[in-house]
Amino acid sequence: MNTRVLTGITTSGTPHLGNYAGAIRPSIQASNQPGVDAFYFMADYHALIKCEDPQRIARSRLEIAATWIAAGLDPDKVTFYRQSDIPEIPELCWMLTCVTAKGLMNRAHAYKAAVDQNVARQVEPDDGVNMGLFSYPVLMAADILMFNANRVPVGRDQIQHIEMTRDIAQRFNHMYGQGNDFFVLPEVQIDDEVATLPGLDGRKMSKSYDNTIPLFEGGAKALRSAIMRIVTDSLEPGQPKDAEGSHLYSLYRAFATRAESGEFRRQLEAGLGWGDAKNMLADRIEQELAPMRERYADLMARPERIEDVLQAGAVKARRLSQPFMARLRDAVGLRAMLAPAAGQAGANAGAGATAKKHAGKQARFVSFRDESGKFRFRLLAADGVELLLSEAFDNPKAIGGVTQAMQQTSFDGLCTKVDGMVHVHVDGVLVARLEPSQIESVTLALSHS
């Protein structure tokens, strides 16, 4: 069995160099490993929680998709899709919402941080908090559980969400699984190997610190000019530099081989000037990015190609999510109203299996000649149980019209109560007599015949 690795990226911004080295590049590498089935998606529903600008959402989805493809993601290998193209995800989200304790969500870091800030500002604790933010972890759980991911590579800030996902999955399994778990409990994957790039000011590169180096935006020029703005100490060329302690070196290492990094380090320690060092860094990064940037520009110029890739990804993903959702709907009792099999009316154990047996089979009419030589028909449930036996007809041709009418009109409308029995009339002709208790199963069967 392959390991399913799944991760999402919120589509509220433009990918920067830190996103590339910290998430995109390692994810693409992981997807090429044997034994791995990768599911990578754009968490565009999540983006709505914090971004109310439709232009920005649309732009970000496009840029992020183009970035992943340009960076080498192979859509034939990876299941690559948009969250919002998978209607089963919000559907599952609701089911999970209904098994999630509110108290669990009260403890979510992102929500708590918002409350703490409000308290500090002496406003209402929930000021500016929407239900999307509050329920954020449930939607994330739906993303993960929909595809039963085994591993979820994320940043440290997301660990709690994966723990909550496990909690929610366990609860659902316990409530509805009947010893047969629906959901795999996902493991969080934190890669210490993966580079966390320093930004221009040396803090972690992040949009919220406004210290990012652009990835493709603005081309090679913007990349170089950002690198020139990286903060360094004021040592002059010729003076030995502390390579280990310099952000330039950390950045360089994230893009260079071990040998190249060793050489860069030696040069810094031998007094390489910061300006020259920055140029070397820009050259090295550019070497990796240049071919991707070209593909990126190509893709951005023809967004319909990206749309095609994502539509195909959604089809691939839904091949899994649709049948799984059908099972989940059945598990919680949102079932097709099929006639219960004999002896099973009202029983709920094994109902899932029953519904499955019924799928693909249908109730049907069977006509025959009785002992007296007259013609009758039966309505049989999918499992062959007789639900209705007709009155006798002289002319077998009449039966076709009668059964057709029964399928096409509301069965209730054909029924009249007579002396505690139910008489079924079609065009004024009595066609069957039933016990009132049979009406329900006949009605259900007719809707599936």
Chain positions contacting ligand TRP, by CB under 6 A = 6-8, 10, 43, 46, 140, 143-144, 152, 154, 158
Closest CB to ligand TRP among 46 and 284? 46
Closest CB to ligand TRP among 178 and 189? 189
Closest CB to ligand TRP among 9 and 399? 9
Smallest distance, Å, CB 60 to ligand TRP?
A: 13
Decide: 143 and 41 in contact? Cβ < 8 Å.
yes
Smallest distance, Å, CB 328 to ligand TRP?
A: 18
Which residues are bridge partners to 81 per DSSP? Answer: 41
Which residues are bridge partners to 214 per DSSP? Answer: 16
Decide: 223 and 285 in contact? Cβ < 8 Å.
yes
Decide: 223 and 282 in contact? Cβ < 8 Å.
yes
DSSP string over 50-69: H---HHHHHHHHHHHHHHHH
Closest CB to ligand TRP among 196 and 443? 196
With CB atoms as reference, the residue minimizing the distance to ligand TRP is: 8
Smallest distance, Å, CB 283 to ligand TRP?
A: 31
Residue 293 to residue 163: CA distance in whole angstroms = 37
Burial call 44-73: b when 16+ CB within 10 Å, e when fewer: bbbbbbebeeeeebeebbbbbbbbbbbbeb
DSSP state of 78: S
Closest CB to ligand TRP among 49 and 339? 49
Closest CB to ligand TRP among 10 and 135? 10
Smallest distance, Å, CB 139 to ligand TRP?
A: 7
Smallest distance, Å, CB 6 to ligand TRP?
A: 6
Scanning the structure block, which residue is given the tokens 């109560």?
417
Closest CB to ligand TRP among 109 and 361? 109
Closest CB to ligand TRP among 137 and 340? 137
Closest CB to ligand TRP among 165 and 390? 165
Which pairing describes strands 36-43 and 3-10: parallel, antiparallel, or unpaired? parallel
Closest CB to ligand TRP among 143 and 330? 143
Smallest distance, Å, CB 133 to ligand TRP?
A: 12
Smallest distance, Å, CB 162 to ligand TRP?
A: 8
Smallest distance, Å, CB 195 to ligand TRP?
A: 17
Residue 92 to residue 75: CA distance in whole angstroms = 25
Q: How many CA atoms lie within 13 A of 191 on its CB side?
A: 17
Decide: 337 and 447 in contact? Cβ < 8 Å.
yes
List CB contacts of 36: < 8 A, sequence separation 6 or more.
2, 3, 5, 30
Smallest distance, Å, CB 443 to ligand TRP?
A: 43
Residue 247 to residue 258: CA distance in whole angstroms = 17
Smallest distance, Å, CB 63 to ligand TRP?
A: 16
- Please write down the HEC assignment for all residues of 102-120: HHHHHCCHHHHHHHHHHHH
Which residues are bridge partners to 365 per DSSP? Answer: 379
Distances in whole angstroms, Cα of residue 161 to Cα of each of 40, 49, 104: 17, 16, 11
